[in-house]
């Protein structure tokens, strides 16, 4: 049960919010991965939120930071907004839908024509940057494209929402079951899921902050304390 819950929580690692606090939290629990199988092991609020244990002052600072992040990136500032946002993510974010549309236009196109298409978009640099991402990862991504971006955002919002007190813990776990089932349906490994999600982050921010995305992607898959170094996809 605990392992499954950790699996569910792990899906937010490659979300735009990043995994550094999550990993910091995992590092702060002594012998976490040794104790995780034992019956005494309890899932702490810190693990649920993906935040390390803070003193009161730091906690206040982080809360303020999360509040600003939720407000500026998702226009979420209360429980009602959060639920609305979560429901909209289940339908599909604008980025995922746009990625699908763009991928359709190039899916049956030979490479030389793709290059021509890109060159023809000289006047619209932003659009060209997005097409470049779609073309660059077309062969690497599964049929689901960047769907993992929505799943990761969904899980991340649930966890941060719980941290801010916008959503109940039981509701979080119920929702995470949904996102886990979606992830399992469309992806076959953590690598594949992580790539899809990270490409989604690049796509959503127009290919800027590439280094940050790469670091987070690498860290999520390779950090010795990361969930994905200790869990199996087919758990």
Partner 1 sequence: MSIWDILGIESTLDKKVIRRAYTALLKIYHPEDDPEGFMRLRTAYEQALKGAEKGRGQEKQYKIDNPQVEQATFYETVLAENPEIPENKETRAEYVILNEAAQSENPGNKESGFEYIHLNEEWQRSETNESSISEQLLILYSDVFKRREVYEWRKLFLHLSLFEKERLTDEVIRFLTEHGDLPFDVWNYLNDEFALSELPDFQWKELMQYDFGLSFEYLNPENFCDYSQYVNLRFQAFLLLRDFKCSECIEAGLRAISIYADDPVLHRLLGIAYYQIADYDQSILWLSKLLKATDADCDGFVYRGYAYYRTGDYEQASADFERAIAIDPEHYDAQKGYTLTVHALKKLKQGQVNEMPLSGISKMDLELDRIIHCTDEMLKWPEPSMKHTFKTYWELNNTVLPKIITFGIGNLICIYAIIRLFITIDFMPSILVLLLPISLFSLYLLKLIGDLER
* Sole binder of partner 1 in the list 85, 159, 175, 223 (CB under 8 A): 223
Contact predicate 4/235, CB 8 Å: yes
Contact predicate 164/66, CB 8 Å: yes
Decide: helix, strand or coil at residue 145: coil
What is the number of H-type helices and E-type strands within the chain? 13, 0
- Does residue 112 bind partner 1 (CB under 8 A)? yes
Q: What is the dihedral of CA 65, 166, 23, 175, to 10 degrees?
A: -150
Contact predicate 180/8, CB 8 Å: yes
Contact predicate 11/151, CB 8 Å: yes
* Sole binder of partner 1 in the list 52, 149, 153, 161 (CB under 8 A): 52
Token pair of 36, please? 């995780």
43-51, 70-78, 80-88, 107-115 -> range binding partner 1 (CB under 8 A): 107-115
Q: What is the DSSP letter of 230?
A: T
- Does residue 234 bind partner 1 (CB under 8 A)? no
* Sole binder of partner 1 in the list 12, 219, 227, 228 (CB under 8 A): 219
Question: Residue 88: CA atoms inside 13 Å, Cβ hemisphere, count?
Answer: 15
19-27, 64-72, 88-96, 175-183 -> range binding partner 1 (CB under 8 A): 19-27
- Does residue 222 bind partner 1 (CB under 8 A)? yes
Q: How far is the CB of 81 from partner 1 (least distance, A)?
A: 31
* Sole binder of partner 1 in the list 4, 20, 81, 178 (CB under 8 A): 20
Q: How far is the CB of 10 from partner 1 (least distance, A)?
A: 17
- Does residue 143 bind partner 1 (CB under 8 A)? yes
**Can you tell me the distance from the alpha carbon of 214 to that of 201, in angstroms, rounded to the nearest whole number?**
10
62-70, 139-147, 150-158, 174-182 -> range binding partner 1 (CB under 8 A): 139-147
Q: Which residues bind partner 1 (CB under 8 A)?
A: 20, 23-24, 27-28, 52, 55-57, 100, 103-105, 107-113, 116-117, 136-137, 139-140, 142-143, 188, 195, 198-199, 202, 210-211, 213-215, 217-219, 221-224
């Amino acid at each position: 049960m605990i392992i499954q819950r950790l699996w569910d929580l792990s899906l937010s690692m490659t979300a735009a919010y990043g995994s550094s606090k999550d990993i910091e939290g995992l590092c702060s629990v002594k012998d976490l991965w040794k104790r995780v199988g034992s019956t005494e092991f309890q899932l702490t609020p810190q693990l649920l939120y993906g935040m390390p244990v803070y003193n009161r002052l730091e906690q206040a600072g982080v809360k303020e930071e999360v509040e600003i992040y939720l407000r500026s990136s998702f226009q979420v500032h209360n429980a009602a907004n959060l639920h609305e946002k979560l429901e909209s993510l289940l339908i599909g974010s604008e980025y995922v839908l746009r990625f699908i549309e763009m991928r359709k236009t190039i899916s049956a196109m030979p490479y030389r024509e793709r290059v021509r298409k890109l060159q023809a978009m000289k006047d619209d640099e932003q659009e060209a940057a997005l097409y470049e991402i779609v073309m660059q990862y077309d062969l690497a991504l599964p049929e689901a494209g960047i769907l993992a971006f929505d799943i990761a955002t969904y899980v991340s919002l649930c966890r941060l929402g719980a941290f801010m007190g916008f959503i109940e813990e039981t509701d979080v776990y119920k929702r995470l079951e949904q996102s886990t089932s979606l992830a399992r349906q469309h992806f076959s490994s953590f690598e594949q899921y992580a790539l899809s999600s990270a490409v989604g982050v690049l796509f959503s921010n127009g290919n800027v902050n590439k280094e940050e995305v790469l670091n987070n992607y690498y860290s999520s898959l390779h950090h010795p304390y990361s969930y994905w170094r200790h869990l199996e996809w087919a758990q």
